[in-house]
A and B are shown apart, each in its own frame.
Chain A
Amino acid sequence: MSNSDINFLSENKLDKVKSKRLNKVRKIALFFILFVGLFSVLSFLLNFSSPLNSIKKQQAEVLSQITLQQAKAAKLSIVNERAASIISLYGERSAYPNILKSVIEGVPSDVKTAGLDIGSSSMTITFSSDSLLSLNNFLDSLISLSEKNSSIKSVFLDTLTVSNNSDAYTMAVRIELK
């Protein structure tokens, strides 16, 4: 009795099972071949139709036209830079000249501006007058000016002196800026 007589499956059935397996493997192999093949064709078509080269070509054309106007571009750059720097400088400068002008313009006719001391963040102006009332009114106007002007941080009355000889009043007002 040989080994083949012990096999419970007939040879026909064995062949059918093998044949089914072979077909399945062949289908899977065909799927892989088709998938990779189609993907390669698609990848080639996408690369071929990519607009990247066309965009780069247009960039080169526009750049060459800009290069022809290089001198104008340089002038425009200078004007932009100068204008921006000038605006920045005007913005950074202290605002005290305007405040000083407003203060001086508000000085009554019987009050004299006797002295001026301007520093980096404050200015001290000395006023003198025979009339204490005029000085007082002027001080009130300075206070209302400080309330309206956002550049003024505070107003101090540093000194108020009376001259024995001439009955003249002198006041030193310090205006601090923001």
Chain B
Amino acid sequence: MNRDIKDINLNLDVLKSFYKENKNFLTPLSAIFIGIVLVIFFVIPQINGFFQKQSQIESEQAKLTHLKQSLAVLSSASEPVLDRDISIASQALPATKDFASVMNSISNAAASSQVSLGDFEFQIGDITKTAEFGSATPSLKISLNITGDVDSIVNFVGTIYKSVPIAQVETVKSSGNFSTLQVSFYFKPFPPQNSNNPENIKSVTQKEQEIIDAIVIPDSLSSDLLNSLQSPDASASSL
């Protein structure tokens, strides 16, 4: 037992003398250790954070630029012109099934091409389901019986194509002076208003304005304008 106490005393003495000899190193070594810890846990994350912040500043700056452009577009747009454009565009492409406009279009086309209208039949579909805004354009299909020679039928088809609402004559079956036509009149619900992105407000392009201005109610669109839109690459180049 005395030998153990002596051993313990010797170890304590060794430690005490080691501390006494090297106590001056304790403070700077602690400072170095704390410095290393701070570099790892503070300096390096701060450097990473700085670069992330720079990238965030760039994207926020771009967003601000887009917002200012949108504001400039809004400030330059004329509300009476927009109201007029909406009225015209809505007659060309109604938001709902517009039976009155369809009947007007057919009557006007028949009168101008000197054909007689016989029976016609609307194919309405599911009346409980309202059309929703989407990429496809729904249509109101109508089957018409017309009396007139082939030249008059051709004029009738051409007039329907230029009038509003926008229509497509799907089929024509003509025999003698009697013809049956299948016509589709397009309509499309308005987009939901919460889909407006304030960064993405665009002005009406020149081409779009020309198209709207050319839609004269109830007269026809010019053939040149329609031809330019119906060329093979029209959709890509028109805007």
Are B70 and A66 within 8 A (Cβ)? yes
Interface string of A24-37 (1 = CB under 8 A from B): 01101110110110
Contact B207 A87 (CB under 8 A): yes
CB of B71 within 8 A of CB of A52, answer no
Give the number of A-B contacts (CB < 8 Å). 227
Please encode chain A, from 52 to 75, with 1 for each CB lying within 8 Å of some chain B CB and 0 for all others.
100110110011011101001111
Also in contact, A72 and B74, with CB within 8 A (given A83-B204, A87-B208, A118-B172): yes
Residues 97-129 of A contacting B (Cβ, < 8 Å)? 97-98, 100-101, 104, 113-120, 123, 125
Q: Is the CB of B212 within 8 A of A79?
A: yes
Pick out which of these stretches binds chain A: B2-10, B12-20, B61-69, B117-125.
B61-69
A77 lies within 8 A of chain B by Cβ: yes
Asked if A93 and B230 make an inter-chain contact with CB atoms under 8 angstroms apart, the answer reads: yes
A90–B229 CB distance below 8 A:
yes
Question: Which B residues lie within 8 Å of A94 (CB)?
Answer: 168
Stretch touching chain B among A2-10, A43-51, A133-141: A43-51
**Contact residues in B for A168 (Cβ distance below 8 Å):** none
Hey, which chain B residues are within 8 Å of A113, CB to CB? 149-151
Please tell me if the beta carbons of A117 and B170 are within 8 angstroms of each other in the complex: no
Tell me whether chain B's interface is mostly helix, strand or loop, or mixed.
helix
Shortest CB distance A107–B (Å) = 9
Confirm or deny: B196 has a beta carbon within 8 angstroms of a beta carbon on chain A: yes
CB-CB < 8 A to A43: which residues of B?
46, 50
The reply to whether B46 and A36 contact each other, CB–CB distance below 8 Å, is no
Judging by beta carbons under 8 Å apart, are B223 and A75 in contact? no
Identify the closest chain B residue to A107 (Cβ).
B151
Q: Is the CB of A77 within 8 A of B25?
A: no
- Name A76's closest neighbour in chain B (CB-CB): B77
Chain A residues contacting B173 (CB-CB under 8 Å) are 116-118
Interface residues of B (CB under 8 A from A): 21, 24-25, 27-29, 31-32, 34-36, 38-39, 42-43, 46, 50, 53, 56-57, 60-61, 63-64, 67-68, 70-71, 73-75, 77, 79, 82-83, 85-86, 89-90, 92-93, 137, 149-151, 153-154, 157-158, 161, 166, 168-176, 179, 186, 188, 190-191, 193, 195-196, 198, 201-205, 207-209, 211-212, 215, 223, 226-227, 229-232, 234-235, 238-239
9 pairs, A vs B, C-beta closer than 8 Å: A29-B31, A39-B43, A40-B42, A63-B67, A77-B201, A78-B89, A87-B239, A90-B230, A116-B179
Which A-B residue pairs are the 9 nearest by beta carbons? Answer: A32-B35, A83-B208, A82-B89, A29-B28, A29-B31, A91-B235, A116-B174, A118-B172, A90-B229
